[in-house]
Structure 1
Amino acid sequence: MRKSVTKFEYASNWSRICRQVYKLQPRCSNNPLHGRATVVHHLHYRRSLLRRILGICLLHFPSASVSGYEIPGWDCINVCYRCHNNYYGRSIDPASVHHSSVWVQLGGLKNHQVWIKAWELRIKFWLLTLIP
Structure 2
Amino acid sequence: MRKSLSKFEYASNWSITCRRVKRLQPRCTNNPWHGRATVVHHLKYKRSFLRRFLGMFLLHFPRASVSGYEIPGWDCVGVCCRCHQNYYGRSSSRTSVHYHQVWVQRGGLDNHQTWIKATSLRIKFCFLALTRI
Same topology, TM > 0.5: yes
Cα RMSD after superposing both structures: 1.1
- Which secondary structure does the structure 1 equivalent of 2:87 belong to? coil
5 Å-filtered alignment, 1:73-112, equals: 73-112=73-112
Kindly provide the amino acid, as one letter, of the partner of residue 39 in structure 1.
Answer: V
Write the mapping of 1:1-132 to structure 2, written as runs, cut at 5 A. 6-132=6-132
Report the number of matched residues: 129
Instruction: Compute the displacement of 1:59 (Å).
Output: 1.8
Q: How big is the shift at 1:55?
A: 1.6
Shift of 1:125: 0.6
Letter in 1 for 2:41: H
Provide TM-score, normalisation by structure 2: 0.94
Checking the alignment, whether the CA contact within 8 Å between 2:5 and 2:64 is kept in structure 1 is: no
Q: Distance in 1 between matches of 2:81 and 2:16?
A: 20
Contact 1:37-1:80 within 8 A present in 2 as well: yes
Q: State the 1:5 CA deviation.
A: 7.0
User: So what's the TM-score if we normalise by structure 1?
Assistant: 0.95
Distance 1:54 1:10 in 2: 21
Q: Distance in 2 between the 1:7 and 1:53 partners?
A: 22
Aligned equivalents of 2:44 and 2:116: distance in 1?
Answer: 13
Deviation per residue, 1:3-32 (Å, 9 max, x gap): x87100010000000000000010000000
**Which residues of structure 1 form unaligned runs of 5+?**
none
Runs of 4+ in structure 1 displaced over 4 angstroms? Answer: none
Distance across 2 between alignment mates of 1:42 and 1:76:
4
Alignment check: 8 A CA contact 2:97 2:103 kept: yes
